[in-house]
Structure 1
Amino acid sequence: MIHIVIPVFNRKHFTRECLLSLRKQSNTSFSVIVVDDGSTDGTADMLREEFPEVKVLFGDGGLFWTASVNLGIKDALQHGAEYVMTLNNDLEAAPDFIENTYKWMKEKPEAIIGALEMDAATREPAFGGEIIDFKLNKVRHLLQELPKEQQKGIHQVSQLPGRGLLIPRAVFEKIGLLDQDNFPHYVADYDFTHTALRNGFELYCNYDAKIYTYPEESGERKNRQSKSLKNFYNHLFDIKGGGNLRDFTRFTLKNCPGPYIPYYLANGYARRIFGYMLK
C-alpha cells in the first residue's frame, strides 16, 4: 500500500478538494497522512469532521514544508510503508492517478516516480519533469520536447518536485530523509532526488499519472505579481522565497560538480535577482 503524506498550513479549501479527489480514485489501495503545521483556519476541525479516514499529525507552525513531510514519512515508515508519496494540498488527483501510479511502480519498483502536472484552469499539461545540465547551466523541460503522441508512459529525468512523488522505502534506507536543516521549505525535493540519483536510483516522470495544479495560487507567483522592495527582499531571502539565495547556494554546493560551481552560482544569482524584475 502507498502511504500518501500531505503537509498543510491553512488554505483548508484546497485540502478539502485534494482529499475529495483522492476519495474518487479507481484504486483505493492507499492511506493518507496529513501533517497540519499549526493551521488557524479550522483545518483540523474540517479534517476530523469530514475525513475521519485520514490520519492527522500536528506541528506547531515551525515545521515548514520539509520537516512536515519528514514527520509524515517517519510515521509511515514506522508503520511498515514500502512506498511513500509526497503530495501537496493545493492540487487534485485525476481519478486514475493511483491506478496509473501502481501500473508503473510494478514496472520500476526501485525507482522514484513523479507525476505529470496539468494546469487546473486550462486542463493542459504544465510540467513533465526536467533534465539538468550543470556544465551548460541549462534545464531542459521534457514536456516541451516530447511530441503529443509521446506524452504517455514514463520518461527518465534528472530531478523532480515533491508534488506526487512516489519514493520506495529502499531510498530512505540508503540516503535518509529530506534535508530539512539545509532546505526547510523549498528545494528539498530537488535536492533529495539528486541525492537519490547519485546513489543509483532512477528517476522517472509518469505521464499517465496526472495531478491538476493551480500555479497562480503559489506564494512565489503572488509575490511576483505584486512587486515591491519588501517582496523583492522576501523573494531572495525569506524562507518561503522562490529565489532564496541561501537555498540556491546550498543546493549548488551540494549537487553541482565542482568545476562548474562558480559559473553555475554566478548565472543563478543573476537569474534570481534580475529575473524577479523582468517577469
Structure 2
Amino acid sequence: MIYIVIPVFNRWQFTKACVQNLLGQSYKDFKIVIVDDGSTDGTSEKLTVEFPEVKVLQGDGSLWWTGGINKGISYALENGATHVLSLNNDTLPTADYLEQLVLASKKKPNALIGSTGIDAETKEINFCGERIQWLTDSMLVLKDSLDEKDEKGLLEVTHFPGRGLLIPIAVFEAIGLFDKEHFPHYMADYDFTFRARKAGFAIYCCLEARLGTYPEASGANQLMAQKSLKNYKEHLFGMKGAANLKYYYTYVFRHCPLYLLPISATIGTLKRLTSYWVKPKHS
C-alpha cells in the first residue's frame, strides 16, 4: 500500500491536475494524503467536494514543506503504509507512473526510487538524478549523458529531491522523518536521502517513471526570475531561498567528507553569493 503525500499551499489548479492524473493511474493500490498548510484559495473545500477519496490534513501555515511532508508521512505510517511517495502538487504523473515505480521497487526492494522529470509541455526529460561532486561543490547531471536508447532502467544516484520519491517504511524506521528543525523548507530532501544512503539504503532514479514538471513554478525560480536586492536577500537568507546559507552550512558540515570540507564549503559559499546575478532570468 502506497500512501502518496502532497504538501500544498494554494495553487489549486496545480493540485487539481495532479490529483486527476493520480486517479487515472494504471496501478490502483494507493491512497492520497494532501497536507493543506493554510491555503486561502479554498483548496481544502474544493478537494472535499471534487475528490472525496482524498484524505486532507490541515496545517496552520507554519508547516512549510518539511512539516507538511512529515505530517502526511506520520499519518501514512499510522495507517498501514508499506511505502510513502513524496510528491509536489505542481507535477503531472503519466498514466503508468506508479506502475513503473512499483516495478522498480520490486527489483530493488529496500531502495528509495526517484522519478524522471519531464517538461510538462515538450515531454523532454529535464531531470533523472545527480551525483554529488564534493570537491567542486557541483553535481554530475545524469541527463546530460543520456541518449534515446538509454532512456530505460535505473540510475544509481547519491541523493534525490522529494518531488516524486518512493520510500520504503524501513527507511523511516532506520533514520526517522525529514529534519524539520534544520531544514524547514529547502534541502530537507537532500539531507534525508544522504542520511538514508549512509544508513545503507541505495537510491535510484527510474527512467520509466515519468513525472511532468513546471520548473518555473517553484518559489526559488520565481526569486531568480525577478532580480532585485530584496529578492537577493531572500535568496540567501529567506525560507524560500534555495541558496539559504544557514541551511547550506548545516547540510555541507553534516554530509561532506571532512577532508574536502574546507574547499567544498568555500566554493559552495562563493557560488551561492554570485549565482543569483549570474544565472539568467527565466523567460
With the length of structure 1 as denominator, give the TM-score of the two structures: 0.98
In the alignment, the residues of structure 2 paired with residue 26 and residue 191 of structure 1 have an alpha-carbon distance, to the nearest angstrom, of 32
Q: Are 1:14 and 2:1 counterparts?
A: no
Partner of 1:152: 152
In the alignment, the residues of structure 2 paired with residue 252 and residue 212 of structure 1 have an alpha-carbon distance, to the nearest angstrom, of 30
List gaps (5 residues or longer) in structure 1. Answer: none
**CA deviation after TM superposition for structure 1 residue 249, in Å:** 0.6
**CA deviation after TM superposition for structure 1 residue 116, in Å:** 0.2
Q: Are 1:202 and 2:221 counterparts?
A: no
* SS of structure 1 residue aligned to 2:62: coil
- Counterparts of residues 22-61 of structure 1 (less than 5 Å): 22-61=22-61
> How many residues are matched?
279
- Deviation string for 1:125-180 (max 9, x for gaps)? 00000111213433101111122211211111111000110000100000000001
In the alignment, the residues of structure 1 paired with residue 234 and residue 148 of structure 2 have an alpha-carbon distance, to the nearest angstrom, of 38
In the alignment, the residues of structure 2 paired with residue 27 and residue 200 of structure 1 have an alpha-carbon distance, to the nearest angstrom, of 28
List gaps (5 residues or longer) in structure 2. Answer: none
* SS of structure 1 residue aligned to 2:140: strand
Alpha-carbon contact 2:136-2:267 (below 8 Å) kept: no
Alpha-carbon contact 1:94-1:212 (below 8 Å) kept: yes
Alpha-carbon contact 2:137-2:265 (below 8 Å) kept: no
**CA deviation after TM superposition for structure 1 residue 16, in Å:** 0.3
Partner of 1:166: 166
- Cα–Cα, structure 1 residues 155 and 256, in superposed 2: closer, same or farther, change >3 Å? same
In the alignment, the residues of structure 1 paired with residue 80 and residue 22 of structure 2 have an alpha-carbon distance, to the nearest angstrom, of 21
**CA deviation after TM superposition for structure 1 residue 269, in Å:** 1.1
Letter in 2 for 1:70: N
- Counterparts of residues 77-92 of structure 1 (less than 5 Å): 77-92=77-92
* SS of structure 2 residue aligned to 1:135: helix
Structure 1 moving runs of 4+ over 4 Å: none
**CA deviation after TM superposition for structure 1 residue 263, in Å:** 1.1
Letter in 2 for 1:185: H
* SS of structure 1 residue aligned to 2:200: coil
**CA deviation after TM superposition for structure 1 residue 92, in Å:** 0.7
Alpha-carbon contact 2:178-2:189 (below 8 Å) kept: yes
**CA deviation after TM superposition for structure 1 residue 266, in Å:** 1.0
* SS of structure 1 residue aligned to 2:212: strand
Alpha-carbon contact 1:5-1:35 (below 8 Å) kept: yes
Alpha-carbon contact 1:143-1:151 (below 8 Å) kept: no
* SS of structure 1 residue aligned to 2:135: coil
Identical-pair percentage: 47
